[in-house]
Each structure stands twice: as C-alpha cells, then as structure tokens.
C-alpha cells in the first residue's frame, strides 16, 4: 500500500521551490473561493467608481470643450442682425477693449449646390460664409496651402471640406474651379479655390456629427456672396476684442445690441462647473477607495486568522516568512490579473458608451491612461494590503503558537 502520493508536488525533489509556491497559492485561491469572490466584488466596485468617475469627468470636459466659437473664430464676439453701418454708428464713440470688427454674411437656408468637374456634392455638412479680405488677417487664420481671398471669384475652403472633395472629385485641388448655385433664383457663379485653411482640431475632427469648426467652411468674397444669395443672407458683425478684454467688451456690447453672443462666456461657466465637478468626483473616488481599502483589510484580517493552522504547518516545515509573503503576494497577483481584465472591460464599456473620442482631442492611449491607468495603480496598491498584513502577522508568531490555535 502506498502511504505517500508519489505525484504530490512537495515529494518531487526535482521541482524548484517557486513552482511549489505557485501551486500552493493556486490551491489556496481555489480553497478560499468565497474570500476571492468577495475581494473581486470589492475591487469591481472600486473600479466601477474610479473608472466611472474618470469617464464622467472626461465626458464633462468634452462637453465644455465643444463650446467654442463654432464656425466663428475663437474668442470673437458675434452680433447678429446688425449691418456694419449700424454697428459703426452705435460704436463711433469707441468701445473699451474692441480691437477691430468685420462684417460677415451667412445663409439663412442650407439650400444650395456645389459642382466641380461635373460632380455635385451634398452641402449638408458645409457652411458658406461671405467675408471680406481682412477677415483672414484679422483673426490670423493660418493656411495649409495657398492663401487668402484677394479678389472676386476666389474662395478659400476648410481643411475637412478640401480633403473630402479631393477624395470625392477626381483632379480637385488648389486652382480648381467650382460652381455654386442658388436654386431659388437660378444664380450660378464660378469660383477658383485659392487656399486651404489649416486644420483646426487634431485628426479626430473628421467626425463632424456634433461639432462645426472652420474646417467645415467655404469662404466666399462678401460681394459675390451677396450677389449670389441676395435675400437669403443674414448680416453679422464679428468683433475682435483686445487680448484679455473680451468679457468687458461683451457686456458693453450687450448694452447697445440685442443679439450678442460670446461663446467664451459659456466656456467660462462650464469650466467653473467642471472644476467643481472634479472636486466632487474626487471626494466620491477617495471615499470609495477608503471604504474598499478598509473592507479589504477587514477581509485580510479574517482570512489571515483563518489560515493560522495552515501557515503553522508551513512554518514548522521550515518555510520562511519571505515564502509565506510570496504565497500571499501571488494570491493578490491573481486578483490583480482579474482586476486588470475587469478594468479593461469596464473602461471599454464606459469609454465607448459615454465618450465621443473625436471631440476630446486626446488619443485613445491617453484616454485609457487617464481612465484605466490610475485606477489600476490604486487597486494594485490596495490589494497589497493582504500580503503585507499577512507577513507582518506571521513574522513573529512561532509555529507552535500557530498550530495551537484552531
């Protein structure tokens, strides 16, 4: 009759210590299923809150970021329904903080068509703007290629429009001629593309579903725009403030005009709200982390206490405290692996269901680092409570004392 199991790993002297420790820790992991499920649940909760808070913050940040000038230059003040003459009359005494202004016309309708080399393109995502030559220098608009409008019959296009047309229309480029038609009075005018505006946002700005920037614009000379669309245009005056004087200029203009817009004020409000929100989400994350750390410590205290006999046997067999620490560390390591998988799953779900990556202006790796990287690091630290407590607890207890306790 065999008394000993020949296959038992501890009987096989050929095997190293480390595989035995790994096997022991796996057995412990299986034996203490309930503890592990509990810790996984706690870690899961902490991850939900930490990754959730980070994602929510990014979501709020994204909402704040999209409040920009839209199709108008950043930090400009827009006055609707006012032509330059009225504007000049009302501001002839001078307004503190105003650097310059320029008239702009926009279309009241989106019903127009664009044709180039016998290809017609959909204008749904394109905005037409009638501007004066000074518009480009006034707002320091940079060009990717070509330059600003100098005379009648020339147009400048936004980055996205240019590349979209290049992909759709064979032979399209700087110098190409395009026809713009107003279907209401059958007026058609041919323009020559003279410039492409530098991309306003990173590559992500190709998705324009929720954001309109200069990338989606076609600039026409103001006179041509007026001739082409006549009664279908709206007069706008765009005011450029002196640096750092935009808010005071905005309030002065509101006392003279009825329809004054300053997108910067919305941004200011949202930025203040965002900092409050980050403070609040910070409190939520810290208190959750604290709760989970205490709960995991409570679990560690109980689990370590219930393993006294087992570790008593190990210690009396000559297993050092370092090896006990490695056994416990491995248990935490398995949990860390589970936490890592959970973090990526949760992060993926949160990021793709809440965020629109195109609007954040951050790469996916940056977003992952912010939403998942930091929570994982914190969770790893929290999970280290268990092996550290274990080794401190067992270090000074003699094997006899451990075996005595049942």
Partner 1 sequence: MIGRVFFPTPTHQILTILAIVLIASTSTTIYLTHDSLKNQEISPFGAGTFYAEYFYYEGFVSQKKVAWERALHNVTEKFPYLKIGNIFILNSTQAIVQVGDQPITLKPTQIMLTDTSIYNVSSFRFIDKKSTGEGIILGYEIYMALEEIGRVDKLKIKLINNQSTIFTCTGKVIGILSPTASNSLNAGILIVNKKLDSIKPIYFPKFVVFKVPPEYMEYMSALAEDIYYRGLPVVQPERSSNPLFFQSILNVAAIFSDLGLLFAITAYVMVSKRIWLKEMAIALLSGAGFFKILSWLFLRNLITVFLGIFVGTFIGVSFFSFIISRLPPTYYFYFTVSNNISGTLILNLSVSLVIIIATVLYVWRYTTKTTPIKIIREVFYQ
Residues in contact with partner 1 by the rule CB under 8 A: 34-35, 37-38, 41-42, 44-45, 48-49, 52-53, 56, 59-60, 63, 96-97, 244-248, 250-252, 254-256, 265, 268-270, 272-273, 275-277, 280-281, 283-284, 287-288, 290-292, 294-295, 297-299, 301-302, 305-306, 406
Quote the CA–CA distance of 287 and 280 in Å, as a whole number. Answer: 11
Residue 209 C-beta: closest distance to partner 1, Å: 18
Residue 261 C-beta: closest distance to partner 1, Å: 14
Closer Cβ to partner 1, 205 or 246, answer by number: 246
Quote the CA–CA distance of 387 and 53 in Å, as a whole number. Answer: 28
Please work out, in degrees rounded to the nearest 5, the angle formed at the alpha carbon of residue 196 by the alpha carbons of 195 and 197. Answer: 120
Residue 246 C-beta: closest distance to partner 1, Å: 8
Closest Cα partner for 375 from 46, 9, 133? Answer: 46
Task: Please report how the helices 17-31 and 33-65 are oriented relative to each other, as an axis angle in degrees rounded to 10.
Answer: 90
Is 218:127 a contact under the CB 8 Å cutoff? Answer: yes
Residue 23 C-beta: closest distance to partner 1, Å: 20
Closer Cβ to partner 1, 284 or 403, answer by number: 284
Closer Cβ to partner 1, 107 or 328, answer by number: 328
Rounded to the nearest angstrom, the gap between the alpha carbon of residue 394 and the centroid of all alpha carbons in its chain is 46
Closer Cβ to partner 1, 113 or 291, answer by number: 291
Closer Cβ to partner 1, 27 or 108, answer by number: 27
Closer Cβ to partner 1, 219 or 257, answer by number: 257
Find all residues with CB under 8 Å of 1, minimum gap 6, and list them: none
Residue 206 C-beta: closest distance to partner 1, Å: 25
From residue 59, alpha-carbon distances to 54, 76, 110, 350, 360 in Å are 9, 26, 31, 10, 9
The continuous run of DSSP H or E covering 339 comes out as helix 321-354
Is 191:224 a contact under the CB 8 Å cutoff? Answer: yes
Find all residues with CB under 8 Å of 150, minimum gap 6, and list them: 133, 194
Residue 149 C-beta: closest distance to partner 1, Å: 33
Rounded to the nearest angstrom, the gap between the alpha carbon of residue 98 and the centroid of all alpha carbons in its chain is 34
Q: What is the residue whose two structure tokens read 């005379």?
A: 151
Residue 381 C-beta: closest distance to partner 1, Å: 17
Closer Cβ to partner 1, 42 or 149, answer by number: 42
Closer Cβ to partner 1, 150 or 306, answer by number: 306
From residue 367, alpha-carbon distances to 74, 342, 355, 356 in Å are 25, 17, 10, 11
Closer Cβ to partner 1, 25 or 55, answer by number: 55
Quote the CA–CA distance of 236 and 81 in Å, as a whole number. Answer: 6
Residue 127 C-beta: closest distance to partner 1, Å: 25
Residue 46 C-beta: closest distance to partner 1, Å: 9
């Amino acid at each position: 009759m065999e008394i000993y199991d020949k296959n038992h790993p501890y009987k096989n002297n050929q095997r190293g210590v480390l595989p035995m420790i790994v096997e022991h820790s796996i057995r412990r992991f299986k034996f203490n299923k309930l503890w592990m499920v509990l810790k996984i649940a706690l870690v899961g909760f902490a991850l939900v809150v930490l990754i959730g808070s980070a994602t929510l913050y990014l979501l709020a940040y994204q909402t704040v970021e999209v409040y920009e000038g839209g199709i108008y230059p950043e930090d400009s003040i827009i006055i609707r329904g006012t032509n330059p003459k009225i504007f000049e009359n009302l501001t002839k005494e001078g307004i503190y903080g105003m650097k310059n202004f320029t008239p702009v016309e926009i279309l009241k309708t989106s019903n127009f068509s664009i044709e180039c080399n016998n290809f017609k393109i959909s204008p749904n995502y394109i905005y037409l703007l009638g501007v004066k030559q000074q518009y480009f220098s006034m707002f320091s608009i940079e060009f990717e290629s070509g330059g600003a409008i100098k005379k009648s019959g020339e147009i400048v296009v936004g980055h996205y429009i240019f590349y979209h047309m290049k992909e759709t229309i064979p032979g399209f480029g700087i110098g190409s001629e395009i026809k713009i038609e107003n279907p209401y009075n059958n007026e058609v005018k041919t323009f020559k593309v003279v410039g492409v505006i530098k991309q306003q946002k990173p590559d992500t700005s190709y998705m324009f579903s929720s954001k309109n920037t200069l990338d989606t614009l076609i600039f026409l000379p103001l006179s041509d725009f007026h001739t082409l669309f006549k009664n279908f245009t709206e007069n706008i005056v765009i005011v450029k403030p002196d640096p750092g004087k935009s808010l005071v200029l905005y309030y002065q203009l509101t006392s003279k005009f009825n329809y004054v817009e300053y997108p910067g004020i919305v941004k200011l409000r949202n930025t203040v709200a965002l900092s409050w929100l980050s403070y609040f989400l910070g409190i939520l994350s810290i208190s959750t982390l604290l709760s989970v750390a205490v709960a995991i410590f409570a679990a560690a205290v109980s689990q370590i206490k219930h393993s006294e006999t087992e570790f008593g046997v190990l210690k009396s067999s000559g297993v050092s405290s370092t090896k006990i620490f490695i056994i416990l560390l491995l248990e935490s390591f398995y949990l860390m692996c589970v936490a890592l998988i959970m973090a990526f799953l949760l992060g993926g779900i949160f990021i793709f269901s809440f965020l629109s990556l195109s609007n954040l202006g951050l790469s996916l790796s940056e977003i992952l680092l912010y939403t998942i990287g930091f929570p994982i690091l914190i969770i790893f630290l929290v999970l280290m409570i268990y092996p550290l407590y274990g080794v401190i607890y067992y270090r000074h207890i003699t094997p006899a004392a451990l075996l005595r306790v049942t």
